[in-house]
Amino acid sequence: MQKILIIGSKGMLGQELVKTFKKDGDYKVIAWDREDIDITREKEVSKKIGFTKPNVIINAAAYNAVDKCESDKKEYKLALDINGKAPGYLAASAKKNKAILVHYSTNYVFNGEPEIPEPAGCSHSCASCSLHQGFQPEIGFNEDAKTSPINNYGKSKLLGEKEVEKNIKKYYIIRTSWLFGKPAISKDAKRSFFDIMLEVGKNPPADGKEVKAVEDENACFTYAPDLAKKTKEIVDAKKPFGIYHIVNSGPCTWYEAVVELYKQAKIKTKVIPVEGSEFPRPAKRPFYSVLVNTKLNPMRSWKEALKEYLKK
Ligand SMILES: NC(=O)c1ccc[n+]([C@@H]2O[C@H](COP(=O)([O-])OP(=O)(O)OC[C@H]3O[C@@H](n4cnc5c(N)ncnc54)[C@H](OP(=O)(O)O)[C@@H]3O)[C@@H](O)[C@H]2O)c1
């Protein structure tokens, strides 16, 4: 039997990881959250993990307040401690106890300007290049793409990736984006975009009875239960260690997402596409941060996953 330690077990993803691994009798699941461990305390991490001796450690704990850590220096320090340094402590403890480490990162480690791929064999004298006929490039960032975050949250998560890579070889870094699902248990838990937009759609603002949604940010939604299952598949199959991109299929904008949500939920409120500049926020968001997965079977589309979420 494998002993698996899930940290951040009350978070949006953590709860689903606990459920998913508990269903399999081959795993003994130990679920920890903030009251059981503070991952920013190096000695505490080393002592508690040394005592527990897990075979697998999954770190789903994180600092996710993207705007707060852009405008407030103390918050940025906290983000660097939780997202940046703590994964290094977990990696060192995992290595010492011969465990493997699964850690999550984000599409915000990229700057939003992906390189446009060319077909294999293209000589770049494209006026005479027939290879482009019918070639549909998958535009986005693959697992090896150059990282270059444009906000503090992204910088803190990139530091976490580097600390993991520096401290252990047996790691899976799973980058994901725009997570949705059952909110985390803690009192300050962020609700996911779909929950917020459902409420707004049912009670639209009095002025105009329409909802505005940003149309110039593109990424992929990820349903937390799907990500948890895919994580288990990677661990079970003993996939090669390294970086993975896991998202539901089909990039979209926030605007397209609200239109689909209201269609599925039969909400009649009108949705108006607007530029991100209509909602000024402290942290810049990448314009196009679609994660391209070249290593795993793709997951179902976000629209199907949304259907399941709404049913629940
Ligand atoms: N949410 C997204 O849209 C999104 C997008 C891309 C990537 N990700 C990544 O996906 C992973 C899971 O995110 P999530 O949305 O499920 O996170 P979440 O809901 O915010 O859950 C994180 C959990 O970690 C706990 N935690 C925070 N600091 C801790 C500490 N110092 N020690 C121990 N526990 C601590 C939190 O407790 P408190 O609530 O009490 O703080 C919370 O229960 C993270 O790595 C995140 O960066 C998320």
Domain ranges of the chain: 2-117+129-184+220-250+289-301
The answer on pLDDT for 283 being more than 90 is yes
Model confidence band, residue 158 (pLDDT cutoffs 50, 70, 90): very high
3-state secondary structure of 211: strand
Mean pLDDT, residues 60-72: 96
Mean pLDDT, residues 238-247: 98
Per-residue pLDDT, 189: 81
Strand segments (E) across the chain? 2-7, 27-32, 56-59, 100-106, 171-176, 179-180, 210-214, 218-219, 222-223, 242-245, 252-253, 270-274
Per-residue pLDDT, 203: 82
To the nearest whole percent, how much of the chain has pLDDT over 90? 84
Worst-scoring range by mean pLDDT, 29-33, 112-116, 160-164, 215-219? 112-116
Q: Which residue has the higher pLDDT, 183 or 157?
A: 157
Looking at every residue in the chain, the average pLDDT score rounds to 94
Identify the residues whose C-beta falls under 6 Å from ligand 1.
Answer: 8, 10-14, 33-34, 37-40, 60-62, 64, 82, 104, 106, 157, 176-179, 184, 186, 188-189
CATH superfamily of 2-117+129-184+220-250+289-301: NAD(P)-binding Rossmann-like Domain (3.40.50.720)
* Cα-trace Rg, the chain: 20
Per-residue pLDDT, 190: 79
The answer on pLDDT for 207 being more than 70 is no
Ligand 1 nearest-atom number relative to CA 157: 47
